[in-house]
Structure 1
């Protein structure tokens, strides 16, 4: 995408959120979760899997609404936007403030090995990974065990405490730590209520598989968008929004699923180009970009076909070779090291 194309499209895209579609969707998802919980408690055993499916769909959307809140796209009012973000984060065990800080850095420094926190964390972990740990990672990858997503969630909980341990006592870090305490207090309160009404085991059996399915979906939805895209050099400057097409990929569009379940999250190129644009305007952004060009490339694979195909490939051949720095740079020419990463 050229800067001229980007400017032409940007002028035609509204980024206000006066139409509160995302807030309404959040309320709908809450109602679906309540309905699924009641079905789980009251319905016959053979109907209960349907309750888990309903809850899983609602939980996926809650994760995506948190993503909208991280971009400030839920509401023009900061307090409402942050409130929805915190409620979503609390419900799925993903603290909103560290998630927003990490995600904004990801958009600002996409494909940078150090300044994009997602890349930095991957490099730090893979660089100390033993061969045995590498085999374990490949086993989990092939068998759809969502270790990458779980590590991402845990990393967001640890982030403010790690920052404080390194000497960062900024108001932002203090606020992030304060909210982790608030989240934990909420979990304790819910656990206490569940035990009081003798529903603790029921709640665990209901929500734990839903949360595991969320972790699987986080990997299915996120990994295709930047996999097999090479990293920048460590001394490179950030990419402009119109340049990020080279390090981001779309997934194919599936009827109903893409727009109404995953909220156009598959349109990742225009999302990186216009990160403030709400999910319900991304399809228009994609169409405007297509109009700017003489030809349209082939439709990319959707998330499910991508996952089914690439879960059979070793993870390090899919994307990890950009992050795995266990091989010493002394054993290969400098030119090769620069092109590898």
Structure 2
């Protein structure tokens, strides 16, 4: 290839010179990145000179191509560029392979593991009152303000999920029976069976970002993408424009089939399923009886969809980015997956309050025994001791656009390959998102 200097002008001391325009230089070096330097030559030509630009006087210059080393893959400058490109505040360094999860846990202050009953029940009070306020807003709001009321109520009911989440991790109360009762009740408005979710979620923590075993979202495998045209179209929509609601399919697939659970787990699974079906069989008819079908849509369905928006969005952001790998079991490292493979993301403060800091997520993956009300103190400790390894972001459109338009099919070398790279003619939903989604960071 010839390197081209188009419309370039060079300033030299002495009389004004005419600008140099559109000169081509043949390469003297192999392909790569080079820095062009201008060096003065003697007037004697030889057979090796290729790129000469003669000025009006006696000076002759040569374009010398000097190799410039690219930024190392894990250099600070490279990570800074990726942060800007993907919408992150910081992309962390790779954690050394000899660091264990225990090494990280031992740096956390003991107080972050302490259960505080007052703080635990305060979170219940916040969720119950904010949810009740949301239902009141729905009942009084004119039709054009209903979306705002649904957004508030859907976010408030997400707080119920976080309370049940703490109960499932045994970080809500010292009384385990109380935890099981509170967790089951907190999940009922969401139609989530508590025990099935707990069993599958524990597996997610044990196998975070492990390609086959992680029960949360993971990249699409190539064999899935190629399995059938109909399934490919469904995946393109599911991992593209419908991804902010894809936790609905995850909820259906993972939590209602008894065959997915061990025989020793099935008794508790059956109890949870019975509670969920009882809520549906009693609660839904009561809502319809009091408010009609439209009331069921207004008071239950729309807030439930709002919850799934947050459930999908939070889960996406927690573990999905072009630089975060999913690894096979033989190459997986627990400390790297939990510290390097988890993302801290700041949302508007009202969302953080209603959702009980669930997005302060890195310490939760370091130890599930940390209650939600201690996550911020634990994260501060991680910043002090392991800050250079952390992935951190503030929610922004560029971050979401990156996830929805790039993080699709698994690649061992690149982590992800976008659908529109593999099948551009079938990826119109992805090209549409690239065109219409904002790119603000």
TM range (shorter): 0.7 to 0.9
Q: 1:126 aligns with which of 197, 220, 224?
A: 224
Partner residue in 1 for 2:299:
206
Distance 2:108 2:281 in 1: 45
Partner residue in 2 for 1:105:
203
Deviation at 1:119, TM superposition (A): 6.2
TM-score, scaled to structure 1: 0.78
Range with bigger deviation, 283-292 or 13-22: 13-22
Asked if residue 283 in structure 1 is aligned to residue 381 in structure 2, the reply is no
Q: Which structure has greater strand proportion?
A: 2
Q: 1:136 aligns with which of 222, 231, 234?
A: 234
Give the 3 Å change call, closer, same or farther, for CA 272–195 of structure 1 in structure 2: closer
Distance 2:107 2:330 in 1: 31
Cα distance per residue 1:173-203 (max 9 Å; x no partner): 1221232122111211112322433434312
Range with bigger deviation, 3-12 or 119-128: 119-128
Q: 1:310 aligns with which of 388, 400, 403?
A: 403
> 1:162-177 alignment to 2 at 5 Å?
162-163=259-260, 168-170=262-264, 172-177=265-270
Asked if residue 197 in structure 1 is aligned to residue 290 in structure 2, the reply is yes
Partner residue in 2 for 1:69:
167
Asked if residue 231 in structure 1 is aligned to residue 323 in structure 2, the reply is no
Distance 2:292 2:133 in 1: 16
Secondary structure of the structure 1 residue equivalent to 2:343:
coil
Distance 2:415 2:277 in 1: 34
Distance 1:158 1:121 in 2: 23
Give the 3 Å change call, closer, same or farther, for CA 8–176 of structure 1 in structure 2: closer
Deviation at 1:100, TM superposition (A): 0.6
Give the 3 Å change call, closer, same or farther, for CA 303–65 of structure 1 in structure 2: farther
Distance 1:299 1:156 in 2: 28
Q: Is contact 2:219–2:409 with CA below 8 Å preserved after alignment?
A: no
Asked if residue 273 in structure 1 is aligned to residue 362 in structure 2, the reply is no
Asked if residue 91 in structure 1 is aligned to residue 189 in structure 2, the reply is yes
Deviation at 1:217, TM superposition (A): 1.4
Give the 3 Å change call, closer, same or farther, for CA 126–206 of structure 1 in structure 2: farther
Distance 1:120 1:290 in 2: 27
State the aligned residue count: 316
Q: Is contact 2:344–2:360 with CA below 8 Å preserved after alignment?
A: yes
Q: 1:58 aligns with which of 130, 137, 156?
A: 156
Q: 1:38 aligns with which of 136, 152, 158?
A: 136
Unpaired segments of 5 or more residues in structure 1? 325-341
Asked if residue 16 in structure 1 is aligned to residue 92 in structure 2, the reply is no
Q: Is contact 1:65–1:74 with CA below 8 Å preserved after alignment?
A: yes
Deviation at 1:109, TM superposition (A): 2.1
Asked if residue 117 in structure 1 is aligned to residue 117 in structure 2, the reply is no
Give the 3 Å change call, closer, same or farther, for CA 284–194 of structure 1 in structure 2: closer
Q: Is contact 1:72–1:276 with CA below 8 Å preserved after alignment?
A: yes
Distance 2:393 2:274 in 1: 41
Partner residue in 2 for 1:331:
none
Secondary structure of the structure 1 residue equivalent to 2:112:
coil
Q: Is contact 1:94–1:156 with CA below 8 Å preserved after alignment?
A: no
Distance 1:156 1:86 in 2: 17
> 1:143-162 alignment to 2 at 5 Å?
143-144=241-242, 146=244, 148-159=246-257, 161-162=258-259
